[in-house]
């Protein structure tokens, strides 16, 4: 039986860049525990001879020729960006630690 602690929630929230308040984390933890319990039930199924299915299609990837087909559309893309300067997209500052 999987149990998710509020401390796990804090880490998951950080990885997913989602704000989960301390008040919420108890409830989120119990909900995720429920989901994991469901997964535990699924785990009980014998899948030894079953190949994992990543795609519902029985098809293979088509490959493209190595030719430039995309033109510069920076102006159009940057018109809808929240902040740009010198051709760069501006984002909240990331400091590498």
Partner 1 sequence: MEWETVIGLEVHVQLATKTKIFSGASTAYGAAPNTQACAIDLAMPGTLPVANEAAFRYAVMFGLAVHAEIGKRSVFERKNYFYPDLPKGYQTTQLAEPIVGPGYVDLELSEGRTKRVRIHHAHLEEDAGKSLHEDYHGMSGIDLNRAGTPLIEVVTEPDMRSAEEAVAFAKKLHNIATSLEICDGDMSQGSMRFDVNISVRPKGQETLGTRTETKNLNSFRFMEEAIALEVERQIDVLEDGGKIVQETRLYNGETKVARSMRTKEDSDDYRYFPCPDLLPVILDDQYINEVRQQMPELPEARRERFVADYGLTEYDATQLTAERAVADYFEATVKACGEAKLAANWIMADLSAYLNKEELSITQSKVTPIQLAGLITRLTDGTLSSKIAKQVFEAMTLGEGDADTIIEARGLKQVSDTGALEKLVDEVIANNTKQVDNYRSADEAKRPKMLGFFVGQIMKASKGQANPQAVNDILKKKLEG
The residues that touch partner 1, with contacts defined as CB under 8 A, are: 15, 17, 52, 54-55, 57, 59-70, 72-74, 77-78, 83, 85-97
Residue 25, C-beta contacts closer than 8 angstroms, at least 6 positions apart: 6, 9, 10, 13
Residue 22: which of 5, 35, 34 has the closest Cα? 5
Minimum Å gap between C-beta 59 and partner 1 is 6
Minimum Å gap between C-beta 78 and partner 1 is 7
Minimum Å gap between C-beta 14 and partner 1 is 10
């Amino acid at each position: 039986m999987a149990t998710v602690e509020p401390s796990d929630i804090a880490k998951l929230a950080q990885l997913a860049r989602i704000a989960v308040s301390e008040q919420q984390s108890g409830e989120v933890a119990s909900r995720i525990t429920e989901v994991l319990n469901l997964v535990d039930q699924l785990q009980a199924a014998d899948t030894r001879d079953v190949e994992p299915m990543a795609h519902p299609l029985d098809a293979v990837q088509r490959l493209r020729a190595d030719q430039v087909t995309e033109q510069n559309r920076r102006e159009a893309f940057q018109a809808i960006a929240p902040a740009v300067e010198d051709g760069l997209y501006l984002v909240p500052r990331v400091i590498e630690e």
